[in-house]
A = this chain, B = another copy of it.
């Protein structure tokens, strides 16, 4: 998936040390694909996926809105040129003083999943729009969301009713089907739940206006995934099925789906060795690992495609590990990774589809290694 522009950059600039290279042309194509697939939805780019200023500026120029997780991310989006009305404070866990600060900056759209959070917002962001996140089962996602965010639909009704009673604008419902979601039916189940919240509150005269359908749009790692167009059709059918002719305003929050396939990490093989003469797997140590940007290999959840100069030649299974003195810094061990037998110490490898959730996950200085550098071209 490395584009010619990325390959040319690496060949010409020859950066030393591990680094991420992101091709803005791919981000541009992804944004257009989302616009085309879901023409009636507003796109809120999930800044946390990759907050590089060049990416935020490109998307701001193209008309994207932004989903932010902190005041720092609100400010990054504004610095990139996004007006406050195109920014959502989408983290359900916020300090009251951070809500106040975001409100001062002009932010009027906030995520909640409990009455406690609603009360903070009512105190320091009077009249703001709130949407309540509903729990989904996350089935079919490679990086499931567990129960950390959201509440059951019945409780969402209480939360939004409470928001209304405190003078807030009970604006809608959100859900997240789980990151890297490849089951198109996941959105259908979640939209069914959302519709129930709409219907229950409508009976009390509270008219919700928006469904935030979150992210979860996958990027291609090793296996093929449905394309944006397929998601668009599945989501539109589900909206029609559950909401009939009264389809609400909708929002999507792609992060991985916007930038994942736009980036490639260049890494170097530091060591290849065995633990005993009769070992049948080799250990391959790269100069990047779990603490240098590949945190999503935790529990071997995300399996990146790795390309070498020897692709197509004979391979053998390898344990793949990072360069730190930490035994947890092993990427693939339970399911060893096939790599060419010709691979040698000092060789470069490309780790594909690493544009999202890499740079900012990287540790500040673990073992003295500097954080992952990134180039946006």
Contact = CB atoms under 8 A, between A and B. Distances in A.
A276 B148 contact: no
5 contacts: A48-B366, A72-B365, A73-B368, A151-B276, A361-B366
Number of copies of this chain in the oligomer?
2
Interface residues of A, number: 77
4 smallest CB-CB distances across A and B, nearest first, come from A72-B368, A114-B273, A70-B368, A73-B368
Interface string A239-259: 000000000000000000000
B368 A51 contact: yes
A76 B368 contact: yes
A338 interface: no
Interface string A35-50: 0000000000011100
Contacts of A158: 277
Contacts of A333: 146
Interface of A: 46-48, 51, 68-73, 76, 90-96, 113-114, 116-117, 120, 135, 143-152, 154-155, 158, 268, 270-277, 283, 285, 287, 291, 295, 298, 321, 323-330, 333, 345-346, 359-371
A139 to B, nearest CB: 14
Contacts of A325: 46, 48, 69, 90-91, 149
B361 A155 contact: no
Contacts of A93: 270-271, 285, 321, 323
Contacts of A92: 271
A94 B273 CA distance: 12
Nearest to A321: B148
Given A143-B327, A149-B325, 5 more contacts: A70-B368, A90-B325, A93-B270, A146-B327, A155-B274
Contacts of A154: 276-277
A293 to B, nearest CB: 9
Which residue among A91, A295, A368 has the maximum number of chain B CB atoms within 10 Å of its CB? Answer: A368
Contacts of A276: 151-152, 154-155
Contacts of A323: 91, 93
A314 to B, nearest CB: 20
B367 A91 contact: yes
Contacts of A114: 271, 273-274
A126 B113 CA distance: 62
A274 B291 CA distance: 32
Contacts of A147: 275
B367 A364 contact: no
B363 A363 contact: yes
Nearest to A269: B95
A186 to B, nearest CB: 15
A72 B271 CA distance: 19
A96 B346 contact: yes
